[in-house]
Amino acid sequence: MSYQERYERWLNSSALSPQEKAELEAMKNNPQEIEDRFFSMLEFGTAGLRGVMGLGLRRMNVHVIRHATQAFAQVILAEGPAEAAKGVAICFDCRVNSDLFAREAACVMAANGIPVKLFESMRPTPELSFAVREHGCIAGLNVTASHNPPEYNGYKVYWEDGAQLPPHHAAAIAKVMEEIDVFDGVKSMDYDAALAQGLITLMGKETDDKFLGHVLAQINDKESVAKVADTFTMVYSPFHGTGYQQVPYVLGELGIKHIHCVPEQMVIDGTFPTVKSPNPETPESFALARKLAEEVSADFILGTDPDADRVAIQVKDRQGQYIQLSGNQTGVLLLDYLLSAKKRAGTMPEKPVALKSIVTTNMARKVAEAHGLTFYDTFTGFKFMAEKKNQLEAAGEGHVVFSYEESIGYMIGDFVRDKDAVTASLLLTEMTAWYAAQGMNLLEALEVLYQKHGYHGEKTVNLVMPGLEGMANMKALMAKLRSEPLTEVAGTPVAVRRDYQDGSEVEVSTGAVTTMELVGSNVLQYRLADGTDLFVRPSGTEPKIKVYVLAVGSSGADCQEKVAKYTAWAEILKEMV
């Protein structure tokens, strides 16, 4: 069926409301728009679905949500009646239509005979991961587009361990979506009828209390916080999202007395009116928070993204300027602090392990191993870290105490299997207060770590390639890098090439090929002669190729010089297409 035929089928479908038909009618003389919306379905991957809201197969709307949920339901039912009876937990964030999409998904699950535990109102993503485990569900579903711009929404799927869906289950859902019709192949039922029949039950305070109890159990050192509580001042922003209740609550329980929440951004609003994009990884997003911090002379700024799974921080230096730390820097500091705090408190488990993604700073390995930990790399995504954690702990080979990736995501404790900004916010604040009690700020603490473990610098370059042409260019660039392997980058020889798609490692000088343990991801790595690592990887959720520069140097200046040189190379990489 052509994209034009799909468009006309939607336009003539009885499933569409008059308002929806009017939206489609408005584009009848715009073939490019019709093609963009109908040339194929949104790709269902291990991160589920994510896209711009609107009508069409390649947009996020109730019809696509129902279609994906029907496929998800059929994959669950294939596990057998006993497994399906465990039910599904469903959560949603603050975005436009998130509550509607969550309810529609619940009605499809219920119509398929799968019990649903639906949060009564929006909740942080990590609480969904917790709820799946706590309530013994077979799966979970979260309607969120995380930190994307306001026109986006998404559909994240989880399995019974509380982690995002493993690849074979994602592939099974995608296959069923291809097989069933977007309208006629879907079962649904009335929401109120599903509630009355007990097929949908609502979760609320009881699940919150259990989740927050586990979060607060991660506190290591309230005594040090108490020492500076009268003078330590901080600013917090939830960026209009789900962290607005739980993060201030846990910080208060930690003993922080002076928490100033950005009032404009404590207002729940899925249009995110005060920021260009609600991404705390972007320093510009903190403009209002910095203004408030200057007014109250805050030591520390903390911000969580709208679904409260990612967190970023800014620290006041000795000149009174607020400096944003990268996810790599924040993770290294938190890893070192957490391990030191556990040693002081006598709570370090036997055989402790730390994890990071392959594109995250190599400094983390040095910090962990200096503390006596075993350390592993995984592919990007917390589903892979959760898989490694489950594997190690089931085999008795180690207990994972900390996992992180450079994109400001951190997983701590045993009660979630996804990144968790609620717990990370608690521990980042504890860490900052602890250093304040020692007369240090985090920038000074980071310098100590650099002096001990070597200077490391990182930069991520996003090569944005939107639309149909962009998808083709992304594939073409990766194919060209494989067919014409790089031997030098910006004048520096490539020492080792790694292709994580087939697991091959090539020593460039000799041509010797070995096989890596990690295999099955579309990522290329180049280890350069000066110790720099470069990774090239298509994003799993956005139309971009990401190039990661991980440099190491004899000094901060040497390190940044390398970062700048290879960043300039990365920024013109797409000209190879």
- Three-state DSSP at 489 gives strand
Identify the sign of the CA torsion 337, 339, 343, 345. Answer: positive
Determine the Cα–Cα distance for residues 486 and 488; give it in Å rounded to an integer: 6
Give residue 472's identity as a one-letter amino acid code: A
Q: Structure tokens of 442? A: 């985090």
Which residues in 469-496 are b (16+ Cβ under 10 Å) and which e? ebeebbeebbeebeeeebeebeebebbb
Contacts of 291 (CB under 8 A, 6+ apart): none
Angle, CA 413 vertex, CA 89 and CA 438 arms, to 5°: 140
- Three-state DSSP at 20 gives helix
Determine the Cα–Cα distance for residues 257 and 279; give it in Å rounded to an integer: 27
Determine the Cα–Cα distance for residues 154 and 61; give it in Å rounded to an integer: 10
Contacts of 531 (CB under 8 A, 6+ apart): 551, 552
Q: How many CB atoms lie within 10 A of CB 541?
A: 18
- Three-state DSSP at 497 gives strand
Strands 311-316, 300-304: pairing is antiparallel
Q: How far is CA 425 from the centre of its chain?
A: 15
Determine the Cα–Cα distance for residues 369 and 545; give it in Å rounded to an integer: 31
DSSP state of 160: T
**Is 98 an annotated catalytic residue?**
no
Determine the Cα–Cα distance for residues 420 and 125; give it in Å rounded to an integer: 7
Instruction: Using alpha carbons, select from 119, 124, 115 the residue that is nearest to residue 206.
Output: 119
Tokens 């009848």 locate to 28
Q: Which of 98, 146, 188, 425 is catalytic?
A: 146
- Three-state DSSP at 3 gives helix
Residues with a catalytic annotation lie at: 146
